[in-house]
C-alpha cells in the first residue's frame, strides 16, 4: 500500500474495510484525473490533494470527507463531471465536492464592509460543516506551499485567510487549525512583527520551560497519590499571531501575558477535573481573577476546560488547563470532533447534511441526537449549535447578483429590497425580476442563496403597493421619497 494512503487511514476513528476502500479508490481516481497537472511550484498537482486529505485526516475527519478532500478539485480542474463522481463515489461525496467547488467561486475583494457578510455567506454556501473543513484543509496546504506565488497573490491569500477563514475556524472551535492559518498569514503580511514576536516568545519560553517540567512532575505525583488517572500532561505554546495581538494590548510587555505557555492536564472525568484543580490550588497560589470555569460555562464555540494561573514560586507564572479527553478533542478540533464520531450508517445526504439542516431542526434531527448521545453533554452541544444559528443566520438571508456579488437582506425581503440595496436607480426603475433564471413577481419573498436579476425600464416607477412588500428601511425610505410622501403621511391600504 502507498505510504500516503497508509497515513490517511491511520487517523480514522471508524475503520471498516468499506472506508479503507473508499479512500484508496479516491486516491487512485484523483491521481489519474490530475495526471500531468502541475502546481505553480512545479510539483505534481496531486501532491496538493494528498496534503489536503492528510490535513483532514489529522483533524479526525471521516472517510467520506477525506475522499472528498482528495477529489475536491476534480470537477473544477479536470474532465471529471458531477455524474462521474456520483457514479463512482455516491451522492454524499458528490455533495461535498460540489460544496467545495461552490465555495471556490465566492469572490473576496478585500472590502472591509463585506468581510462579515462574506463569512456568513461562506458558511451558508457550504451548507455542511464537512465542506468547510475541506476548504480549511485546502487553504492550509495552499498557505504552506505559497512561496511559489507572486508577493501580491501571497498577500491577497493571507489577507483573505485572516479575515474569512481563520474567524470561521475559530467560530467552529477548530483552535489548532485557526492558529496555524493565522501564523502562516501573519508571517506573509507582517514579516517584521512576526520575527519580533517569535523572538520575544523564544526568550520567554526558555525561561519558563524548566518551570513547566518541574510543575508537570509535581502534578503527576500529586494526582497519582490522589488516585486520579493522568491521561496526559503536556503544554502548548501560544500561537504567534494571538500572542502578537495580546502584546499590542499590553505595551509589548510579555510579563503581562500569562498564557504564553499553558500546561494541559487531561483526566478521565468531569469530577476529576474539579478535584485536580483543587489539588493544584492546595500547592500553588492562584492568581486572583484568573480562575475560569468553562466547564460550567462553556465558551460560545463549545470550548470547555477549567483554567487557573499559578505562581510557581520561582518567579514565573503559568496557566494550567484541566479537562477531559472529550473536552480536549473539542478544544483542538471543534466541530470536527463531532463529525468524526458521527454514526456511520446514516449516509443519505438529507440525514447528514450538516449545518443548515441541523440548525433548522435543532431538536428532531438524527445527527444532533447522535451527538447528544455520544457527547453526553447535550446542553453544551445544543447551545453550541444555537450559537451558530444566532450568529450566522439570525433572520437574515444572503442572495447574489448574477455576477456573484453578495447582498445581505432580512428574511422575507423581496426583489425590491434587493434592487434598492444595490442602487437607488435600480429600485426606482425596477420593472421585473428573475430569480434563479425564472421571472417572478416583485413581491416574491427571496430565499437564501437566490441569484437575483432586476429588469429595469426607464418609464417604470415605484408604486404604493411596494411599501407593503419591502422589508428594509432603506427601500421604504426611497420609495416614499419617489412617491412624494412625507414621513408622517400614511399610505392607505388598497
What is the contact surface with Mn ion in residues (CB under 5 A)? 73, 138
**Options 77, 116, 293, 343, the catalytic residue:** 77
Work out how close the CB of 77 gets to Mn ion at its nearest, in angstroms, rounded to a whole number: 8
Closest approach of Mn ion to the CB of residue 180, in Å: 17
Give 51 or 272: the residue with its C-beta nearer to Mn ion: 51
Q: Of residues 10, 21, 40, 76, which has the active-site annotation? A: 76
Closer CB to Mn ion, 21 or 40, in the complex = 40
Which H or E run contains 193?
helix 191-225
State how far the Cα of 157 lies from the Cα of 177, in Å rounded to an integer. 16
Closest listed residue to residue 424, CA positions, set 465, 480, 486, 492 = 480
Q: What are the φ and ψ backbone dihedral angles of 309, each rounded to 5 degrees? A: -125, 130
Q: Which is nearer to Mn ion, 34 or 235 (CB)?
A: 34
The secondary structure of residue 256, as a DSSP letter, is G
Q: In angstroms, what is the minimal distance from the CB of 170 to Mn ion? A: 22
For residue 62, which of 18, 126, 125 has the smallest C-alpha distance? 18
CA dihedral over 76, 79, 85, 86, signed as positive or negative: positive
Contact between 442 and 433 under an 8 Å Cβ cutoff? The reply is yes
The answer to whether 217 is a known catalytic residue is no
Q: Which is nearer to Mn ion, 72 or 204 (CB)?
A: 72
Half-sphere exposure (Cβ direction) of 110: Cα atoms closer than 13 Å = 7
In the bound complex, what is the minimum distance in angstroms from residue 130's beta carbon to Mn ion?
15
CA 290, 295, 296 angle in degrees (round to 5)?
95
Q: Which is nearer to Mn ion, 68 or 454 (CB)?
A: 68
Q: 54 or 204: whose CB is closer to Mn ion?
A: 54
Contact between 389 and 359 under an 8 Å Cβ cutoff? The reply is: yes
What minimum distance in Å lies between the beta carbon of 461 and Mn ion? Answer: 48
Q: State which residue, 122 or 241, has the beta carbon closest to Mn ion.
A: 122
CA angle 244, 198, 57 (to 5 degrees): 85
CA gap 110, 174 in Å, rounded: 24
State the minimum distance, in angstroms, from the CB of residue 138 to Mn ion: 4
Q: What are phi and psi of 408, to 5 degrees?
A: -100, 120
Phi, psi of 407 (to 5 degrees): -125, 125
Shortest Å, Cβ 102 to Mn ion: 13
Which of these, 309, 307, 306, lies nearest to 286 by C-alpha position? Answer: 309
8 A C-beta contact, residue 73 and residue 32? no
Closest alpha carbon to 157 in 79, 30, 40, 248: 40
Output 141 or 239, the one with its CB closest to Mn ion: 141
The stretches of 304-430 forming alpha helices (DSSP H) are 325-333, 335-340, 349-352, 355-360, 366-375, 378-393, 415-422, 424-428
Shortest CB 434 distance to Mn ion, Å: 32
Has 10 been annotated as catalytic?
no
* Structural contact between residues 358 and 365, judged by C-beta atoms closer than 8 angstroms: yes
Residue least distant from Mn ion (Cβ): 138
φ and ψ of 6, to 5 deg: -50, -50
Rg over CA atoms, the chain:
26
> What's the min distance (Å) between Cβ of 73 and Mn ion?
5
Would you give the DSSP letter of residue 217? H
State which residue, 33 or 397, has the beta carbon closest to Mn ion: 33
- Where would I find the beta strands (DSSP E) of 11-139? none
- Length of the chain in terms of residues written: 494
Q: Which residues are catalytic?
A: 76-77
Amino acid at each position: 500500500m502507498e505510504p500516503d494512503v497508509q497515513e490517511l487511514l491511520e487517523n480514522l476513528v471508524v475503520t471498516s474495510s468499506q472506508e479503507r476502500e473508499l479512500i484508496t479508490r479516491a486516491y487512485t481516481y484523483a491521481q489519474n484525473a490530475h495526471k500531468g497537472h502541475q502546481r505553480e511550484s512545479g510539483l505534481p498537482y496531486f501532491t496538493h490533494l494528498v496534503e489536503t486529505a492528510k490535513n483532514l485526516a489529522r483533524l479526525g475527519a471521516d472517510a467520506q470527507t477525506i475522499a472528498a478532500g482528495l477529489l475536491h478539485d476534480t470537477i473544477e480542474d479536470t474532465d471529471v463531471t458531477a455524474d462521474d463522481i456520483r457514479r463512482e463515489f455516491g451522492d454524499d461525496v458528490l455533495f461535498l465536492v460540489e460544496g467545495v467547488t461552490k465555495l471556490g467561486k465566492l469572490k473576496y475583494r478585500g472590502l472591509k464592509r463585506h468581510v462579515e457578510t462574506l463569512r456568513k455567506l461562506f458558511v451558508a454556501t457550504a451548507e455542511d460543516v464537512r465542506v468547510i473543513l475541506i476548504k480549511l484543509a485546502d487553504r492550509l496546504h495552499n498557505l504552506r506551499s505559497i512561496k511559489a506565488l507572486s508577493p501580491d497573490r501571497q498577500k491577497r491569500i493571507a489577507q483573505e485567510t485572516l479575515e474569512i477563514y481563520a474567524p470561521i475556524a475559530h467560530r467552529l472551535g477548530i483552535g489548532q487549525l485557526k492558529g496555524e492559518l493565522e501564523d502562516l498569514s501573519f508571517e506573509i503580511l507582517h514579516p517584521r512583527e512576526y520575527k519580533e514576536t517569535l523572538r520575544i516568545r523564544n526568550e520567554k519560553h526558555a525561561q519558563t520551560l524548566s518551570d513547566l517540567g518541574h510543575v508537570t512532575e509535581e502534578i503527576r505525583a500529586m494526582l497519582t497519590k490522589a488516585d486520579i488517572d493522568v491521561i496526559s500532561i503536556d503544554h502548548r505554546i501560544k500561537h504567534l499571531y494571538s500572542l502578537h495581538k495580546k502584546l499590542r494590548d499590553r505595551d509589548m510587555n510579555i510579563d503581562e501575558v500569562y498564557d504564553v505557555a499553558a500546561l494541559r492536564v487531561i483526566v478521565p472525568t468531569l469530577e476529576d477535573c474539579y478535584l485536580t484543580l483543587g489539588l493544584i490550588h492546595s500547592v500553588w497560589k492562584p492568581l486572583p481573577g484568573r480562575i475560569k470555569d468553562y466547564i460550567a460555562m462553556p465558551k460560545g464555540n463549545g470550548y470547555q476546560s477549567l483554567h487557573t494561573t499559578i505562581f510557581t514560586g520561582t518567579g514565573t507564572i503559568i496557566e494550567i488547563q484541566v479537562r477531559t479527553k472529550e473536552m480536549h478533542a473539542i478544544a483542538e478540533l471543534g466541530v470536527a470532533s463531532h463529525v468524526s464520531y458521527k454514526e456511520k450508517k446514516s449516509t443519505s445526504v438529507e440525514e447528514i447534511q450538516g449545518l443548515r439542516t441541523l440548525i433548522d431542526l435543532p431538536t428532531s434531527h438524527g445527527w444532533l441526537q447522535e451527538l447528544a448521545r455520544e457527547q453526553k453533554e447535550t446542553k453544551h452541544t445544543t447551545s453550541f449549535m444555537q450559537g451558530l444559528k444566532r450568529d450566522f443566520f439570525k433572520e437574515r438571508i444572503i442572495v447574489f447578483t448574477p455576477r456573484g456579488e453578495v447582498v445581505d437582506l432580512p428574511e422575507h425581503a423581496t426583489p425590491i429590497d434587493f434592487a434598492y440595496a444595490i442602487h437607488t436607480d435600480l429600485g426606482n426603475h425596477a420593472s421585473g425580476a428573475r430569480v434563479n433564471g425564472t421571472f417572478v413577481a416583485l413581491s416574491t419573498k427571496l430565499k437564501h442563496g437566490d441569484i437575483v436579476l432586476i429588469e429595469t425600464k426607464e418609464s417604470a416607477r415605484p408604486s404604493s403597493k411596494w411599501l407593503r412588500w419591502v422589508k428594509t428601511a432603506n427601500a421604504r425610505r426611497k420609495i416614499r421619497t419617489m412617491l412624494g410622501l412625507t414621513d408622517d403621511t400614511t399610505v392607505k391600504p388598497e
